[in-house]
Structure 1
Amino acid sequence: MNRIVIVTGMAGAGRTTALKVLEDLGFEAVDNLPINLLRKLVQALDPLETDVAIGIDPRSRTFDVDALMPRLERLRGSGVAEVRLLFLDCDDEVLRRRYSETRRRHPLAFDRSLEDGIAHERQIMAPLRGLADHIVDTTALTAADLKRVITGLFDPAEGQRLAIHVMSFSFRNGLPREADLVFDVRFLRNPHYDDVLRPMTGLDRPVQDYVANDLDFSSFMERLVNLLLPLLPRYRAEGKSYLTIAIGCTGGKHRSVFVTEALSAQLRDAGWAVGTHHRDIPRTVAPVAVTGSTP
C-alpha cells in the first residue's frame, strides 16, 4: 500500500527541509499542491509505485483549512493508501527571527505586520494541527536534527529500531519542547563557581573531572542508566522510533553537558544508536579537550 505524507504547518517551520528529507527516503515530493488536485493525485497513484509526500501551506492560492480537513478524513477512510499528516510547528519569536534574517515576506502578512501574520496563520492552522499524526516542533532543531526526526518517523529501516537523542540544556532558557524525558542535574556541584573552570564547558577534561568527583555523581549515573536500559526496549516495542532525553542544569554549559556525554557513551556501549546535542553551549566556546568516555 502506498504511503502518503501530508506535510504542513507554520510557514518558516521547515516544511521544505522536511520534504527534501522525505525525498531522500524515496518519496515523490510535491510541494504547494492545490487542494482540489489532492484527490486526482491519489487516484493516479499506482499501488505498487513509490510513496508520496505532499507539501500544503497557506502560500497555495487554493489553501482552505475548512476544505482540506474533510478531504483528509475521506482520504484516510478510503483505504487506498496509508495517510499520515505531519505538522511542523515553531515558536513565534523564532519564526519572526527567521523571516527577519531572510527578509522574506510572510505569506499572510500582506497588509499587516509580521507578528500579526504569524498570529493569523496560527489561528487558521489550529484545526489542522489537531488532526496531525505527528507534530514536530523545530524551534531548537538544526536541519540535521530535523532530518534525524523525519527519518525516525518515516524510514522503515529506522522504524525497526529506536534512535536515541541525548541533549543538554539550560533551565534558564526553558525546557526543550522535543524532550520525551527530562532529568535535572543541578544537584551536582557547579563548576561555574570556580574561576578557572567557568570559561570551560562539560566537553573539557578539567570540568569533567570536577563533576565526576562529586560524591553523588557515580551513584546517580548508575541509577540513571539502570532506569533507562529496561525502558528502551519497551519504547521500541510500542512502535516509538526515536526518543529524546534532555539533561538540564542552570547554565547548560558544564554539568548537563558532561552528563549528556557520559550517558550517551554508556547507552552506546549497551548497543543503542545515540546522537548528542548541546543546545545552550555558546557557539563561540571551543572545548579544550573532548572525551566520549565515561568516568
Structure 2
Amino acid sequence: MSAAEASPLEVVLITGMSGSGKSVALHALEDAGYYCVDNLPPELLQPFVALQQAHHTQRVAIAMDVRSAASLPMVPEQLAALRAQGVAIKPVFLDATTDTLVRRYSETRRKHPLSRRDDADIQHALIEAIELERELLAELREQAHAIDTSLMRSAQLQGYVKALIAAPASHLTLVFESFAFKRGIPVDADYVFDVRMLPNPHYEDALRPLTGRDPAVAEFLRRAPEVLQMERQIEAFLSAWLGALAQDHRSYVTVAIGCTGGQHRSVYLVEQLAQAFSPHWLTLTRHRELDKA
C-alpha cells in the first residue's frame, strides 16, 4: 500500500461570517501546502472530495459561506458521511463581533451578500444582514472550532490557523486564551473564567511593564494563595469534563481566562494551565492582548 493510500484525506472546512477573514485563512492553508477551493457549493462537497481521493490528494481546504445559504443545511449530514468514509474533517468557523464586521464593511465599502439593495438605511440593513447570517450559520458554528478574529491582524490569524490544523484531527485540543475584559469577551470561548478578583501585579511599579510570562510576575502571583486556589479549581473543573467532551467528538475546546488588562493574571494562568494539561492533552495557548502587539 502506497503512502498516499495509507493516509486518509484531510479536509479543512472554513466557514464563518462574511468579513471575518476566510480569505486570509484560506491563503494560510495554501501556504501550508493545502489544495484550496473558495466558495464551493455544498452540493459539490462530496463529489469534490471523491475526486480528490481518486487523485490521492492528502490535504484539502474548502471555504463555504452564506452565498450558498439555500444548501448550507445539508453540510452537517455530508460531513458525517465523509467521516464515516474515513475522511479526516477539521471544521473551522471564523467569527467577529457585529461592531467589528460593520466597521470592516464600512472601511472597504463592500456590500454584504445578504443586504437588500433597495434599503435606504445602509447601516441598519447591514446589521440586519449580519444577524440573519448568524442565524443561517448557527448549526455550522456549533460543529466547528470558532475563532474570534475581532482583534486579530491578518498575520496573527494566519499563524493561529496553521497552529490549529497542525493538531491531529482524532484528538481533542485544548486552546487556552488570555484576554482583557475591557476589550470584550472572546466570541470563540467555550468556557470563560474571570480572574479579576486576584492580586494585580499592575499596581506594583516594577511589574507593571512586564507580563504574566515574565519570571518576576510569575513569582508574585505564585506567592498568592488565592491564585493557586483559582488555578486548581479551573484545572479540576476541566479534568472532570474533558473526557466527556472528547467522547462527544469535540475537536477543540477553548478556555478563556480574563483579567482587567489581559497582561498579567490571565496570561500567567493560561501558561500554568497549558503546562498542567499538556502531558495528557494537546494544548495551544493564545494571548489576545499580547499577540496583537
**Kept after mapping to 1: 8 A contact 2:42/2:74:** no
1:28 shift after superposition: 4.4
Aligned partners of 2:92 and 2:147 also within 8 Å? no
Which structure is larger by alpha-carbon Rg, 1 or 2?
1
Q: Which has the higher helix share?
A: 2
- Name the CA shift for 1:74/1:20 in 2 (closer, same or farther; >3 Å): same
1:158 counterpart = 2:173? no
CA contact (8 A) 1:99 1:105 kept: yes
One-letter amino acid of the structure 1 residue matched with residue 288 of structure 2:
R
Name the amino acid aligned to 1:266: A
2:25 aligned with 1:12, yes or no? no
Select 1:95's aligned residue among 101, 105, 108: 101
Q: Tell me the SS of whatever aligns to 2:255.
A: strand
How far is the alpha carbon of 1:282 from its aligned partner? 8.5
Confirm or deny that 1:235 pairs with 2:240: no
2:110 is the counterpart of 1:105: yes
Query: Structure 2: which amino acid aligns with 1:207?
Result: V
CA distance in 1, matches of 2:171, 2:77: 32
- Structure 2 alignment gaps of length 5 or more: 1-7
Cα distance in 1 for partners of 2:91, 2:280 equals 32
**1:202-217 equivalences in 2 (<5 Å):** 202-217=212-227
1:145 corresponding residue in structure 2: 160
Match of 2:235 among 195, 204, 225: 225
The whole-number CA distance in structure 1 between the counterparts of 2:80 and 2:231 is 48
What does the per-residue CA deviation read over 1:198-251, in whole Å, with 9 as the maximum and x for residues that have no partner?
233222222222211113333443444344335334332332222212112222
Q: Structure 1: which amino acid aligns with 2:258?
A: G
* Amino acid in structure 1 at the alignment position of 2:187: R
Q: Please state whether the residue corresponding to 1:189 is helix, strand or coil.
A: coil
* Partner secondary structure for residue 216 of structure 1: helix
Give 1:113 deviation, angstroms.
Answer: 7.6
Structure 1 residues 146 and 70 mapped into 2: Cα distance closer, same or farther (>3 Å)?
closer
**1:167-186 equivalent positions in 2, closer than 5 A:** 167-186=177-196
Q: Which residue of 1 aligns with 2:133?
A: 125
**Amino acid aligned to 1:16:** S
What CA distance in whole angstroms lies between the structure 1 residues aligned with 2:75 and 2:10?
14
Measure the CA separation in 2 of the matches of 1:77 and 1:204.
Answer: 45
Q: CA RMSD in A?
A: 4.1
Q: Is the 8 A contact 2:201 2:217 kept in 1?
A: yes
Match of 1:267 among 266, 277, 286: 277
**Residue 48 to residue 166, structure 1, CA distance change in 2 (3 Å):** same
Change (3 A) 1:134 1:36: closer
Query: What residue ranges of structure 1 are gaps of 5+ in the alignment?
Result: 285-295
Contact 2:178/2:266 (CA < 8 Å) preserved in 1?
A: yes
What is the number of residues matched between the two proteins? 271
Residue 186 of structure 1: SS of its match in structure 2?
coil
Mapped to 2, the partners of 1:183 and 1:262 lie a distance apart of 14
TM-score (norm 2): 0.69
The corresponding residue for 1:246 is 256
State the shift of 1:273 in Å: 2.6
Give the deviation of 1:77 after TM superposition. 10
The aligned counterpart of 1:29 is: 36
Moved more, 226-235 or 166-175: 226-235
Query: Does the Cα contact within 8 Å between 1:87 and 1:129 map onto a contact in 2?
Result: no
Quick one: distance in 2 between partners of 1:227 and 1:175? 20
The residue matched to 1:159 in structure 2 has which SS?
coil
SS of equivalent to 1:158: coil
* Superimposed CA distance per residue, residues 56-105 of structure 1 (whole angstroms, 9 cap, x where no aligned partner): 446xxxx4634x3577699689989889986533212222444566x463
- Aligned 8 A contact 2:95 2:188 in 1: no
- Give 1:176's aligned amino acid: P
Aligned partner of 1:287 in structure 2 is none
Deviation at 1:117, TM superposition (A): 5.9
